[in-house]
Amino acid sequence: MDARYQQIARQLKAAITSGELKTGSRLPSSRTWAQENGISRTTVEQAYGELVAQGWLERRGQAGTFVSQTSPLAVAAAPVAQSGNEHEPKPFQMGLPALDLFPRALWARLTGRRLRTQSRFDLTLGDPAGEAILRQAIADYLRFSRSIECQPEQIFITSGYAQSMSLILQTLASPGDGMWVEDPGFPLISPAIDREGVQRLPVPVDQNGMDIDAAMHRWPQARFALLTPAHQSPLGVALSLPRRRQVLAWAARNSAWIIEDDYDSEFRYHGRPLPPLKSLDAPQRVIYTGTFSKSLFPALRTAWIAVPAAQVAAFRQRINSSQCSVPTLWQYALADFIQQGHFWRHLKKMRLHYAQRREWLEAALMQYGFNVVPQNGGIQLVVEIDGDDKSIVARAQQRGLAVQALSDWHITQPGRSGLLMSFTNLTSAEMARQWVAQLYAAKNKTP
Ligand SMILES: Cc1ncc(COP(=O)(O)O)c(C=O)c1O
């Protein structure tokens, strides 16, 4: 029979081979392991020693004992190791800001400083609605940048648009309520609406945004209207001022709610932006949803809603039965980022870069005969296509391009055909030309 230390060594080796214990992970100290398992420390030391001798583990002095970077398994796996990072964006990939331009060193400094200066009281649960310092920073940003007057109490922090939608509907909706939604529109929010038993009522979008006349005519009983007024997602058009007034008047008359998804309004390259619905909201019927996913980065998982003052108590009651899903440390660092002026600087810089990147992509698309739909802002483009966009997209995807078919964003079929694509992670005119050449080949079925 094996000695005890050999059994331990065998168990450890099995855990490394199965991937349960990853390369580079730190093992508990022999003292801790011995105490936890009621065995002698010498036994654990002998097991570690055996595996160090065989190359499975390595000792790094005071830092401890680690699964070796050059363990027999790691060496065997090396030839098939992936070259790129699995999160590296694909050409044209939508929904991402420019990852190369985010000031990561500054972000690391701010989070590091917060981490180092935490007190023991910062280890407790935070406010379920989000930390006051971040809600204040967002209220300031909304006032100066979006002309929206609101108090920090009106802001509720969430982990993203879907959570914002769930919170809104759980607070204000009853099953069976109807919601106007843009057609075509952002498909990924549909499950969050369906989950609350709210019925999606598709409304066509034209060059002035959602057709409010059509909506009032077809679905007069709706209780919600969900809109992307700044840049309609995905067509990029702005909701015209007359329609903004029209939908606000409709909501006031019918005691209905407007949900304004202002996901990327910071990015406008020509002319003055129209005021957000929320800033025109005298009747107090607009719930505003914002996110840092496009203005900073999506892995931050930080978004917010701004609700009318009269609804604060209802939202507060709802949120108090849960916890804020954004870690408090993250919230503090983000508040510092905004309050120290880095957010404004970053947005200003990004507008310049995005205008440039968009120009590169537009020029390359035009060079290859694609027809780009004109639009004033946003971080994606629409290209018109005659005929079947889905088959072009399928061929493009085989070439590793992440374009999407406009017809897939339609609720009622058949919809307009087109290609949806982003330019944010495109870093040169030459890269734009290469991507578009691939797209052209996919469109024309050339090998
Ligand atoms: C139309 C639209 N709204 C909102 C969002 C924000 O989503 P989140 O905050 O969950 O990242 C996105 C992200 O892609 C979007 O495209």
Residue in 186, 326, 382 to alter for ligand 1 test, most ligand atoms within 8 A of Cβ: 186
**Whether residue 158 sits in one domain with residue 106:** yes
From the centroid of its chain, how far is CA 420? 18
Q: What is the three-state SS of 178-192?
A: EEEEEECCCHHHHHH
Burial of 127 (0-12, 13-18, 19+ CB in 10 A): middle
E strand intervals along 159-282: 178-183, 199-206, 209-210, 224-227, 257-261
User: Which pLDDT belongs to residue 77?
Assistant: 43
**Whether residue 360 sits in one domain with residue 349:** yes
Q: Select the more confidently predicted residue: 69 or 231.
A: 231
**Whether residue 327 sits in one domain with residue 314:** yes
Judge if the beta carbon of residue 304 lies within 6 A of ligand 1: no
Q: 405 in a domain, yes or no?
A: yes
Judge if the beta carbon of residue 160 lies within 6 A of ligand 1: yes
- 408 CA to centre of ligand 1 in angstroms: 17
Taking the C-alpha atoms of residue 4 and residue 6, their distance in angstroms, rounded to an integer, is 5
Reference 185, options 250, 229, 248, 251; nearest CA is: 229
pLDDT at 372 over 90: yes
Judge if the beta carbon of residue 337 lies within 6 A of ligand 1: no
Judge if the beta carbon of residue 263 lies within 6 A of ligand 1: yes
Taking the C-alpha atoms of residue 205 and residue 200, their distance in angstroms, rounded to an integer, is 15
Which residue has tokens 């985010």?
102
User: Which pLDDT belongs to residue 76?
Assistant: 45
Percent of the chain with pLDDT over 70: 96
Q: What is the mean pLDDT of residues 205-226?
A: 97
**Whether residue 297 sits in one domain with residue 424:** no
Contact criterion met (CB below 8 Å) for 307 and 154: yes
89: left (phi over 0), alpha (psi -120 to 50) or beta: beta
Q: Going by CA atoms, what residue is nearest to atom 15 of ligand 1?
A: 263
Taking the C-alpha atoms of residue 148 and residue 305, their distance in angstroms, rounded to an integer, is 12
Q: Look at residues 343, 364, 381 and tell me which one is the last residue of a structural domain.
A: 343
Q: What is the mean pLDDT of residues 68-90?
A: 63
**Whether residue 334 sits in one domain with residue 352:** no
- 94 CA to centre of ligand 1 in angstroms: 11
- 334 CA to centre of ligand 1 in angstroms: 18
Taking the C-alpha atoms of residue 256 and residue 251, their distance in angstroms, rounded to an integer, is 4
Residue in 226, 289, 294, 302 to alter for ligand 1 test, most ligand atoms within 8 A of Cβ: 294
Domain that holds residue 409: 345-443
Judge if the beta carbon of residue 422 lies within 6 A of ligand 1: no
Q: 93 in a domain, yes or no?
A: no
User: Which pLDDT belongs to residue 78?
Assistant: 42
- 39: domain CATH number is 1.10.10.10
Q: What is the mean pLDDT of residues 127-140?
A: 98
Q: Look at residues 310, 343, 376 and tell me which one is the last residue of a structural domain.
A: 343
Q: Look at residues 321, 343, 365 and tell me which one is the last residue of a structural domain.
A: 343
pLDDT at 198 over 60: yes
Q: 314 in a domain, yes or no?
A: yes
- 396 CA to centre of ligand 1 in angstroms: 24
**Whether residue 224 sits in one domain with residue 208:** yes
Q: Going by CA atoms, what residue is nearest to atom 3 of ligand 1?
A: 263
**Whether residue 371 sits in one domain with residue 302:** no
Reference 336, options 102, 112, 96, 99; nearest CA is: 112
State the total domains in the chain: 3
DSSP 296-332: T-GGG--EEEE--GGGHHHHHHHHTTS--SS-HHHHH
Reference 167, options 155, 151, 185; nearest CA is: 155
**Whether residue 357 sits in one domain with residue 308:** no
Taking the C-alpha atoms of residue 381 and residue 390, their distance in angstroms, rounded to an integer, is 17
Q: 257 in a domain, yes or no?
A: yes
- 294 CA to centre of ligand 1 in angstroms: 8
User: Which pLDDT belongs to residue 431?
Assistant: 97
H helix intervals, 321-421: 328-339, 342-367, 389-398
Peptide bond into 184 cis (omega under 30): yes
Atom of ligand 1 minimally distant from the CA of 161 = 10
Q: 89 in a domain, yes or no?
A: no
Q: For residue 212, what is the enclosing H or E element?
A: helix 212-218
- 131: domain CATH number is 3.40.640.10
**Whether residue 366 sits in one domain with residue 291:** no
**Whether residue 385 sits in one domain with residue 267:** no
- 362: domain CATH number is 3.90.1150.10
Q: Using alpha carbons only, how large is the chain's radius of gyration in Å?
A: 27
User: Which pLDDT belongs to residue 370?
Assistant: 97
User: Which pLDDT belongs to residue 275?
Assistant: 87
**Whether residue 163 sits in one domain with residue 111:** yes
440: left (phi over 0), alpha (psi -120 to 50) or beta: alpha
**Whether residue 11 sits in one domain with residue 72:** yes
Q: 65 in a domain, yes or no?
A: yes
Q: 95 in a domain, yes or no?
A: no
- 336 CA to centre of ligand 1 in angstroms: 23
What does the mean pLDDT of the chain come to? Answer: 92
Cα angle vertex 129, ends 125, 131, to 5°?
65
Q: 88 in a domain, yes or no?
A: no
User: Which pLDDT belongs to residue 81?
Assistant: 36
92: left (phi over 0), alpha (psi -120 to 50) or beta: left
Taking the C-alpha atoms of residue 398 and residue 383, their distance in angstroms, rounded to an integer, is 19
